[in-house]
Amino acid sequence: MAVFGTNDAKVLMPRNIADGMVKASKTLSTVARLSPREPQRFGTTDYITFNDIPKMEFVEEGADKASQGTSFGSVTAKPHKGQVTLRFNEEVQWLDEDYQLGILREVADAGQTALSRGLDLGLVHRINPLTGTVINGWDNYVTATTKRVVRSAGVDADAEVRAAVGLLVNDSKTVNGFAIDPKLSWDLAGLQALSGGQPTGTPRYPGLGFGTDITDFLGIPSAQGDTVSGLPEAAADTRVRGIVGDFQNGIRWGVQRELPVEIIRYGDPDGQGDLKRKNQIALRLEIVYGWYVFANRFAVIEEAAA
């Protein structure tokens, strides 16, 4: 049976391909590597928060038990729909099934990269990956934090990381993750041990190698990726080089809908011209993320404005 039937409007991607796509998407995203995905229903999802942390009381035998005042609040994770549309010559419909499955694998390869980078760019920067521009209507994203360390000439990169961690620790916030741009990891890997205030030629952090795949820095789980800076999708460099913070509890995100691949045979679904006129079909892959970010639980390391 052909994968691209002439009458079907939807195609269910073969399970082995779909599972691989979801798995690879997770390994490509810095957010997904540091922050656990959780189940979410479609639509807005409310999370209950304590405004005052409850405290246990030790009670002596026969003594009265005291109560304490507390209050509840809530935050809302909103859905964000993403899509990838790819065009092919319509002759693909007439090819054998093995070749059509190969096309689906290509779609999966492109989709896993696009979907994982889209999660980072939206949740961290509120950037639309296709246009590279900021989505002004979004007000909940990681880099909205006011805790920021601006890099300075002559200051070692590890001192700047410590300064960012200090902003959180001194505000009683937890640090359990470090998203790092390759430019910053290269700087960290290039630092030399000092003796008498002078470089010794010995790497200060030999475990970093060339800084090409950092998974841990000074005991903090780390994930490296160029989505930290927003490039190359961003219309302009965000100047962000590192993000430290509470990735375990400061981000609540999940996939609300993993939609099948849609076959589009008519119209102009992406502004690139009429499909029938161009003898093309389009395949569209969609996903719905939901997330909420507690931005005050994160600190940003960034380059100074030019």
Most confident option among 16-20, 42-46, 68-72, 120-124 = 120-124
Q: CA-CA distance, 242 to 217, in Å (whole number)?
A: 12
Pairing of strands 148-150, 298-302: parallel
Burial profile 277-288: b = 16 or more Cβ within 10 angstroms, e = fewer: eeebbbbbbbbb
* pTM score, whole prediction: 0.77
Q: Phi and psi of 68, rounded to 5°?
A: -140, 145
Quote the tokens at residue 67: 């109560």
Q: What is the pLDDT of residue 12?
A: 46
Mean pLDDT of the chain: 80
Q: What is the pLDDT of residue 301?
A: 98
Q: What is the pLDDT of residue 1?
A: 42
Give me the residue spans of the domains in the chain. Answer: 10-50+72-302
Please give the residue that has the higher pLDDT: either 108 or 52: 108
Is-contact 149 166, C-beta < 8 A? no
Please give the residue that has the higher pLDDT: either 246 or 254: 246
Question: For 88-97, 143-152, 258-267, which range has the lowest pLDDT when averaged over its residues?
Answer: 88-97
Question: For 86-100, 206-220, 221-235, 253-267, which range has the lowest pLDDT when averaged over its residues?
Answer: 86-100
Question: For 2-6, 33-37, 128-132, 247-251, which range has the lowest pLDDT when averaged over its residues?
Answer: 2-6
Please give the residue that has the higher pLDDT: either 226 or 14: 226
Is-contact 281 264, C-beta < 8 A? yes
Fold exhibited by the domain 10-50+72-302: phage-related protein like fold (3.90.1690)
Q: What is the pLDDT of residue 205?
A: 93
Please give the residue that has the higher pLDDT: either 289 or 63: 289
CA nearest 28: which of 121, 107, 144? 121
Helix (H) or strand (E) run with residue 180 in it: strand 177-180
